[in-house]
Amino acid sequence: MNPSMIPASREDAAALDATDPLQAYHDHFDLPEGVVYLDGNSLGPPPRASLNKLRDTAEREWKDQLIASWNDAGWIDLPKKCGAKIASLIGAAPDDVLVCDSVSVNIFKLVSALYLARKAVSEPCAIAYETDEFPTDGYILQGLAKLTGTSLKKIASNGPDAAFADGIKIVVKSVVHYKSAAITDIAAWERAAEKNDAVIVWDLSHATGVIALNMQRVGARYGVGCGYKYLNGGPGAPAFIYVAKKAAEELDQPLSGWMGHAAPFDFADGYLPAPGVKRFACGTPPILSLSALDGALDVFDGIDMHAVEEKAKKLGDLFLARAMALDLTSASPGLDKQRGGHVSLRFGHSYEVVQALIAKGVIGDFRQPDIMRFGFSPLFLTYTQVWDAVDILGNILATEEWRKPEFAIRRTVT
């Protein structure tokens, strides 16, 4: 935002809170006292509706209704039901999104299906991902390339025009970068892809639930994304897959498990894909995790995603502007640029600073090699919380409290 609009005092921040159009959403969450949770971009906290739904699924539907709940409680339709809720957040048609498996598995399904479609018409087809992409996206493509013998390339982060050289026909790319939070111009990339007879699989993990997306309008037909970040669907919540209707009918995905069959309970011998995106289902879905996501998604019912995006940007701007005043280096787009829901700062001892912050109740995370990353989920954070978080960060840096030996102890998950 315009630097002059950034709160210059804690009172200014409180004034923004008082007129925050999203303030009613805070009531959906019961965050622990004294915690400023700047890690909703990594694991969203539980909305009350999610915990309630999960408890009902486990302690009534499973315990009392047992197997009948596959029909009576609609378990069998949960992947499509949750998909429709996510569709409304990403600008997809309601029946073009399915919740299933993990982002990693869904990338494999979608890219291999697109690869098979090319192969069927004997078109050479290299697949590619961008340097510095979230690692699992690259790892999955490495696995697929090994299995199929197709060519795998890496492309530089130079924008769309040079991206489709060397016979590259399928690109996996994030909409919001997991480190920097830079937002990709989807429409520009789709135009470049079309010009080169190529397709893009969008990784929406760090975008869904925090920025306003309209996949249909920008011509994006393929996407995957995450349920456990801004959607608050629970740790390791099932992921989603988006395939535009017409495109789905032309694709056969090789992880063709029974739940993607047109009639799974016919127990037919040959695989026959279900219509549309449902063919991207594979095995039996984890209903308990899925029900927690289902409940969490209800919080987004009727939400204005433009208001969500705007508040995320303003919270991030407030944090970034004050962090710059502490002489920290930003690894994210600046105040005048588009940016997703998080802000990354570079510092030689980021790991230790993040641990020191956590000890004081300000929870962010560390990303290799020297990034401290802070997420600004607009549904439960206030401007004053973000104001206070920077005060605490400033204090830790000024006193060099991060040098305490306990903050150097490495943990498995960072």
Which residues 264-283 are close enough to bind a second copy by CB under 8 A?
A: 264-271, 282-283
Asked if residue 286 binds a second copy (CB under 8 A), the reply is: yes
What is the H or E stretch that residue 37 is in?
Answer: strand 36-37
Closest approach, Cβ 343 to a second copy, in A, equals 17
Closest approach, Cβ 182 to a second copy, in A, equals 17
Site for a second copy in 339-368 (CB under 8 A): 358, 363, 365, 367-368
Rounded Cα distance, 249 and 231, in Å = 28
Among 99, 144, 204, 210, binds a second copy (CB under 8 A): 144
Closest approach, Cβ 24 to a second copy, in A, equals 20
Catalytic residue among 25, 29, 115, 134: 134
3-state SS, residue 361: coil
Handedness of CA 79, 80, 85, 86 (dihedral sign): positive
Among 10, 21, 23, 59, binds a second copy (CB under 8 A): 59
Closest approach, Cβ 381 to a second copy, in A, equals 13
Q: Known catalytic residue: 373?
A: yes
Closest approach, Cβ 135 to a second copy, in A, equals 5
- Phi, psi angles (nearest 5°) of residue 383: -65, -35
Asked if residue 124 binds a second copy (CB under 8 A), the reply is: no
SS3 content of the chain, % helix, strand, coil (to 5): 45, 15, 40
What the block records as the tokens of 304 is 């204005």
Asked if residue 75 binds a second copy (CB under 8 A), the reply is: yes
In this chain, which stretch among 51-59, 322-330, 378-386, 390-398 interacts with a second copy, using CB under 8 A?
A: 51-59
What are the DSSP calls for 196-240, one per residue?
Answer: TT-EEEEE-TTTTTTS---TTTTT--EEEE-SSSTT---TT---E
Nearer residue to a second copy within complex by CB, 6 or 98:
98
3-state SS, residue 154: strand
Catalytic residue among 222, 228, 319, 383: 228
Catalytic residue among 108, 319, 373, 376: 373
What the block records as the tokens of 92 is 């997809």
Rounded Cα distance, 137 and 266, in Å = 35
Nearer residue to a second copy within complex by CB, 68 or 162:
68
